[in-house]
Structure 1
Amino acid sequence: MRLGGRLAAAIEVLDDIERRHRPVAEALKDWGVSHRFAGGGDRAAIGNIVYDALRYRRSAGWLLGQDTPRAVGFGALLLRGEHSAAGLNAVLEDDRFAPPPLDDAELKALEGRQIADAPGPVRADIPDWCVPLFERAFGDDWVGEGAALAARPPLDMRANTLRAGRDKVLAELSQTGARPTTIAPDGLRIAPISGDGRHPNVQAEAAFQKGWFEVQDEGSQIAAMLAGAKPGMQVLDYCAGAGGKTLALSAAMDNHGQVFAQDAEKVRLAPIFDRLRRSGNRNVQVVTKPAELAALSGHMDIVLIDAPCTGSGTWRRRPDAKWRLTQRQLETRMAEQAAILDAARDFVKPGGLLVYVTCSVFDEENGAQTAAFRQRDPRFAAVDHRALWQSRFPGHEAAARIDPEGGIRLSPARSGTDGFYFCAMRRQA
């Protein structure tokens, strides 16, 4: 397929997402099934246009003066900077599978608009109702932070030190372009793709099958390191999900002590069993029964809550979620987070840590949530987060927004990671 056919397909997928309110991955998969003639390169290129259109929906639509699948599809291509409007039209005119070229009205709209002159929410590529949330979270930097959350993401991995060190994994993945991450000492990164490119399928690599590394955002790796799990400890991963942080905690403990992995939704735990077999993590126990969980009460050195949240920190990877999110959903998540904090605290032993983590950038889910919890239960006091960061990642003070009592925040613009929040609270004896 040529560019015109790919753009037409992307507009078709965007229309499907809009009409049927479907997740982007599901819509792209169905398009591929019904268009089996499209090769892997075509599907990747179409997916890039679709994802870029969703990442840049506000700015792409603003350029053409309308928020239609056609407008955001064309706008996303133009924002990539590979074609001028006239150049794109010239390419499309020679492709019978292409959508109609930009018409006079669209060309006139483009002539009079520069993104630098757009309103703040357009440059940030966020919904209007999220503007106050971003202003509270980032102050004067809110537009740049929003724009960074609309960029293409890198592919991050964590070397599994139970099987191989980072240098060994880097040597094995030398053909993929992997490089060491800036902050996380065991992290590897493949840079964001450009144009019609796609990331290599690293899970097909022999090193992955041998358990040498896991796919995990650098921010998630940093959060696991900040938790401070050490050999011999008793650790509860209270919202373990698929087990990414569970595996990182276990590796930090060098398979000594115990990590208990629990999640209220058992189906989310299903992938952890294959991951444990591959990775060689032997000190992890998956907890699925209430009686097993109750037996841990008051005995844990660390209880990690990777709380369910809006996922606003992952919008680079899940841009469709940005436009589906509502105030009501945010409020639902906030209620869930408060309930989980209140339930998980009883597992922390006196002197132990309750660690709260989200992949959200909203203060309502982060610092405000932990501050409200400490008011409800004065037995828990925040650690000195500035001292904690400096002890774990010396020389990287500028990479995080740190409130000594309020916690640590990571973001694409500041740290190059997904958006993450971390807060550790010690239970007083």
Structure 2
Amino acid sequence: MHMRLGGRLQAAIEVLDDIENRKRPASDALKDWGLSHRFAGAGDRAVIGNIVYDALRRKLSLAWRMDSDAARHIAFGVLLSDAELDIEDINVALEGDKFAPEPLEAERLAVWADRDLNSAPDHIRADVPEWCIPHFQAIFGDKWVEEAAALSDRPPVDLRVNTLKADRDKVLKELARAGANPAPLLETAVRVPPLRAMGRHPNVQAEPAFQRGLFEVQDLGSQLAAKLSSAKAGEQVLDYCAGAGGKTLALAAEMGNKGQIHAYDAERARLAPIFDRLKRAGVRNAQAHANIGDLAPLEGQMDMVLVDAPCTGSGTWRRRPDAKWRLSDQQLERREVEQREVLDAAKAYVKPGGRLVYITCSLFAPENGDQVAAFLDANSEYSAVDTQPLWQEAVSKESGLKPLFKDGTTILSPLSTSTDGFFISVLRREK
């Protein structure tokens, strides 16, 4: 049985209330809803998820246009702005559906029709918490509202072609049905465009080509960050905050399986998926370490140490919009402390002449440029490498997309590079 729009809308409202009341991640709330409503099919769950994520991405602007922050009104706002439906279509769809919410009140509709978002306060047009304003201003200046607002768009699904096993044409052929296109900027990237209306993304990980290791799901920004680290065949590399291994896999392909990559993460559970991923991708030059003691022989030996640091994740708000509203100044401060500790620990492994590559998926200066400046102050044997020439070398022909180059670092964002938000800095140990 398929749910009708009314039931899907009501379910989305309930999930939004659950997220708000219990301050929990959207993915958990949606999963719980699915488990307690087993009759809902994949199509139903996809639409409910769309409404929930769109509502979270643009919670402030939708609430402002409705003059109400009730989940019900925000969910109706999603249908009116993203589902490509007008109020007549919606009312017809809700009619006679016993699972549907009450129709939208005439006064709400009047406010919605009357309000022009351009006259809303800046942080509402930007759809970010008010306390974040100075952080966006510090990096983007006058363009901060547009830059922040782009973090509330729907993201594409980006794939990295595993060049150890395939080329882009082969992957595009395998994924033609999924609507895959060449991605901008990198010859080795493929993109399934963002959803329209109430559509659903194809599950690319169910494709035989994925099982055979021909590609990985990885945001284009993350692929570009790995590329800018300029890993060369034969180098000794330490991926110090490897997580599930996305960048390790990208580096292994970049190095053509030559040299050695050590993938380490302080949290075993985060590292767990890496073993299957390495096998599936045909990576032979990487080994995973869960014990810091295993790294002792590597001290002062690495050509490159990659630090994909723990951060607020403000650059990934398109994909995790619920995190945007849970984040606080206190959490930001905790991340800054962790970043300093991680940089301090990671530098021990860089050999003279080697490089330390510091990456975050945040767009906040305290986690980015400020960390690099503090590190350089405290470690006179390091100097900053200008990443702009590295960018020019790494990216394919002119796509019209250009990152922000700031003090030798590279900043990617949905608006400027059509990626998640990333910060990339390369530091060389001179002696």
Q: Is the 8 A contact 1:309 1:333 kept in 2?
A: yes
SS of residue in 1 equivalent to 2:304: strand
Equivalent runs, 1:369-408 vs 2, <5 Å = 369-393=371-395, 395=398, 398-405=401-408, 407-408=409-410
Letter paired with 2:404: R
SS of residue in 2 equivalent to 1:261: strand
Q: Is the 8 A contact 1:208 1:214 kept in 2?
A: yes
Letter paired with 1:54: L
SS of residue in 1 equivalent to 2:112: helix
With normalisation by structure 2, the TM-score equals 0.97
Report the more deviating stretch, 37-46 or 409-418: 37-46
Question: C-alpha distance in 2, partners of 1:75/1:67?
Answer: 11
Q: Is the 8 A contact 2:401 2:418 kept in 1?
A: no
Task: Find the counterpart in structure 2 of residue 136 from structure 1.
Answer: 138
Task: Find the counterpart in structure 2 of residue 116 from structure 1.
Answer: 118
**CA-CA distance at 1:380 after TM superposition:** 0.8
**CA-CA distance at 1:138 after TM superposition:** 1.0
**Unmatched 5+ stretches in structure 1:** none
**CA-CA distance at 1:180 after TM superposition:** 1.0
Question: C-alpha distance in 2, partners of 1:392/1:187?
Answer: 13
SS of residue in 2 equivalent to 1:352: strand
Task: Find the counterpart in structure 2 of residue 4 from structure 1.
Answer: 6
Change (3 A) 1:64 1:33: same
Report the more deviating stretch, 288-297 or 199-208: 288-297
Report the more deviating stretch, 62-71 or 325-334: 62-71
Residue 278 (structure 1) aligned with residue 289 (structure 2): no
Task: Find the counterpart in structure 2 of residue 332 from structure 1.
Answer: 334
Task: Find the counterpart in structure 2 of residue 287 from structure 1.
Answer: 289
Q: Tell me the alpha carbon deviations over residues 317-349 of structure 1, each in whole angstroms, 9 at most, x when there is no partner.
A: 000000000000000001100111111111100
Q: Tell me the alpha carbon deviations over residues 382-404 of structure 1, each in whole angstroms, 9 at most, x when there is no partner.
A: 11222221222263585210125
Q: Tell me the alpha carbon deviations over residues 259-315 of structure 1, each in whole angstroms, 9 at most, x when there is no partner.
A: 000011111100000001111100001122233211100000000000000001110
**Alpha carbon RMSD of aligned pairs, Å?**
1.3
Question: C-alpha distance in 1, partners of 2:117/2:90?
Answer: 19
Q: Is the 8 A contact 1:232 1:256 kept in 2?
A: yes
Change (3 A) 1:201 1:87: closer
Q: Tell me the alpha carbon deviations over residues 106-141 of structure 1, each in whole angstroms, 9 at most, x when there is no partner.
A: 123223312222221111111111111111121111
**Unmatched 5+ stretches in structure 2:** none
- Matched length: 428
Question: C-alpha distance in 1, partners of 2:94/2:208?
Answer: 42
Letter paired with 2:122: G
SS of residue in 2 equivalent to 1:295: helix
Task: Find the counterpart in structure 2 of residue 362 from structure 1.
Answer: 364
Letter paired with 1:296: L
Task: Find the counterpart in structure 1 of residue 232 from structure 2.
Answer: 230
Task: Find the counterpart in structure 1 of residue 353 from structure 2.
Answer: 351
Task: Find the counterpart in structure 2 of residue 93 from structure 1.
Answer: 95
Question: C-alpha distance in 1, partners of 2:335/2:190?
Answer: 31
Ranges of 4+ aligned residues in structure 1 off by more than 6 Å: none
Task: Find the counterpart in structure 1 of residue 427 from structure 2.
Answer: 425
Q: 51, 59, 62: which is aligned to 2:61?
A: 59
Question: C-alpha distance in 2, partners of 1:238/1:112?
Answer: 52
Q: Is the 8 A contact 2:73 2:104 kept in 1?
A: no
SS of residue in 1 equivalent to 2:300: coil
Q: Is the 8 A contact 1:385 1:404 kept in 2?
A: no
Change (3 A) 1:108 1:349: same
**CA-CA distance at 1:89 after TM superposition:** 3.3
Q: Tell me the alpha carbon deviations over residues 347-381 of structure 1, each in whole angstroms, 9 at most, x when there is no partner.
A: 10000000000000111111111111101111111
Query: Percent identity among equivalent residues?
Result: 57
SS of residue in 2 equivalent to 1:399: coil
With normalisation by structure 1, the TM-score equals 0.97
Question: C-alpha distance in 2, partners of 1:92/1:122?
Answer: 30
Task: Find the counterpart in structure 1 of residue 252 from structure 2.
Answer: 250
Report the more deviating stretch, 34-43 or 327-336: 34-43
**CA-CA distance at 1:81 after TM superposition:** 5.8
